[in-house]
Amino acid sequence: MRGFWLTFLPLAALTLPLYFHTSDFPKIGTYGAVYFGMLVVVSGVTILTPIVIAALCGRASNLRPAYAVLAMLGGLVVPLVTLETALRLTMNDSFQESRKWGHRKSAVLGYEAQPNHTWNAADATYTTAEFGFRTHLSDRQWSSSDGTRIFVLGGSSVFGHGLDDDQTWVHLLEEKLRQDLKDRNLNVINAGTNGHNSLQSLLRFYLRVLPLKPQVLLYYEGINDVDESVQRLDSTWLEEDVLFSDTKTSYLSKRYAHKSFYFRTLLAHVVNTRLTRKKTHVAISPPIEHGQRPEQINARNANGQRFITNVTALADMCRRHKVKLVFITFIFDDVNIPVYDRETLKYYNQRLRELAHSEGIPLIDLEKRFQPVPDKKAYFFEDHYHPSQRGAQYIAATVGAEMQRWLEK
């Protein structure tokens, strides 16, 4: 009997959590049909295995068969426990990646830059002022200044990924306009945020920029709306566990409170994510092929309409609040950027041109002006769309020249 109990007790302890489970669609008690079948098999193994081992122990007149089973269970359990512990130590903070980029959680925006904060990432130093906007020449005076107030809205290509505070094109644009127009009261405020797409930028404009009474808004966006999957209109690439739980463990405990303990482990979460690759949007197939035209891509990808819907809402909001909106087409290294990204960005830029024309909105066609520029790779970081120092200088100079003509009128 000792062989039986030496085998049965650890097996029963390992399988016991499986019985405290409620399936999403229960059929037999609290269990689904498949889960119930699995429990029957597990129960059979838990009972029959000790019986067999007890018989083997009796035949061998020792407990070696039972010890062998215990060793096998230990060889299985110890690595799994070690792996779960390692996951909890290394990835238990749901917001750790966003926090590295100076973000704080936001119930409406998903995340946004922390105000009055300094951090380092991608070989650059970033600083934000009291409103969470990146610092620029006149942070100490712009919020109360009566001068021209220009805000720039967009994602990391506006915020300045990989660039120090005084290297971003927004900062350089303010410097150029102040010098050319001889207006020290002119302010260009960087309202971009790393990772924000067109929906988040729209919400950020309404919540963070409008209360500060902008006179001009420059909009430079595109890459964060590009994806080979069809996104919902409200997609922001941030899941519930990141926003509303301090740790992934606490989120899983709440999310799967009705399921067995094993469903609530980080190991199960990682395995499930890898197996299902679950996303909040529906994938399209087959993949985009080289040489397809933008309109062919758009026929299979609803993101173009999603992008233009958000931008149209932004334009309407600016019109209602008497803010002069200026579109800027997005530039990138069209030789080295992935084919899908290149074709989709070109399509987004074309839709932006069409919207500007139909709505009478000023547009700086940066992409068109950038076309003849040689060695485009030098104007971006390795991802081929974040402006490098050279790219930032180019954008500031090109946008500044156009803005100067408008502001002098």
Domain boundary among 59, 90, 121: 90
At residue 190, φ and ψ (nearest 5 deg) are -85, 100
Domain boundary among 55, 90, 125: 90
Do 317 and 178 sit in the same domain of this protein? yes
In a domain, 145, yes or no: yes
In a domain, 141, yes or no: yes
In a domain, 260, yes or no: yes
Do 105 and 211 sit in the same domain of this protein? yes
Domain boundary among 90, 117, 143: 90
Q: Determine the length of the chain.
A: 409
Give the pLDDT confidence score for residue 344 in this predicted structure. 86
How many domains are contained in the chain?
Answer: 3
Give the pLDDT confidence score for residue 400 in this predicted structure. 96
Do 338 and 367 sit in the same domain of this protein? yes
Q: Which long-range contacts (CB under 8 A, 24 or more apart) does 14-20 make?
A: 14/73, 14/77, 15/42, 15/43, 15/46, 17/260, 17/261, 17/262, 18/42, 18/260, 18/262, 19/260, 20/260, 20/261
Give the pLDDT confidence score for residue 286 in this predicted structure. 42
| pLDDT averages per 10-residue partition of the chain, 409 residues | 89 94 91 94 94 90 91 94 91 82 86 92 93 73 70 97 96 94 90 93 95 95 80 58 72 85 90 63 42 55 78 97 97 91 89 95 97 96 97 97 81
Give the pLDDT confidence score for residue 278 in this predicted structure. 41
Give the pLDDT confidence score for residue 279 in this predicted structure. 40
pTM of the model: 0.75
283 CB-near residues (< 8 Å, 6+ apart): 228, 229, 230
Give the pLDDT confidence score for residue 96 in this predicted structure. 79
Give the pLDDT confidence score for residue 16 in this predicted structure. 95
Do 125 and 175 sit in the same domain of this protein? yes
DSSP 256: T
Do 41 and 55 sit in the same domain of this protein? yes
Do 122 and 263 sit in the same domain of this protein? no
Closest residue by Cα to residue 394 from 138, 135, 153, 167: 167
Do 360 and 376 sit in the same domain of this protein? yes
Give the pLDDT confidence score for residue 388 in this predicted structure. 98
Kindly report the CATH number assigned to the domain that includes residue 382. 3.40.50.1110
Give the pLDDT confidence score for residue 227 in this predicted structure. 73
Alpha carbon distance 137, 158 (integer Å): 16
In a domain, 43, yes or no: yes
Give the pLDDT confidence score for residue 108 in this predicted structure. 82
Do 258 and 387 sit in the same domain of this protein? no
Number of Cβ within a 10 Å radius of residue 55:
13
In a domain, 234, yes or no: no
Do 215 and 246 sit in the same domain of this protein? no
In a domain, 250, yes or no: yes
In a domain, 292, yes or no: yes
3 touches 65 (CB < 8 A) = yes
Per the structure, the complete domain to which residue 110 belongs is given by 96-229+284-408
In a domain, 235, yes or no: no
Do 157 and 184 sit in the same domain of this protein? yes
Do 73 and 146 sit in the same domain of this protein? no
Do 11 and 125 sit in the same domain of this protein? no
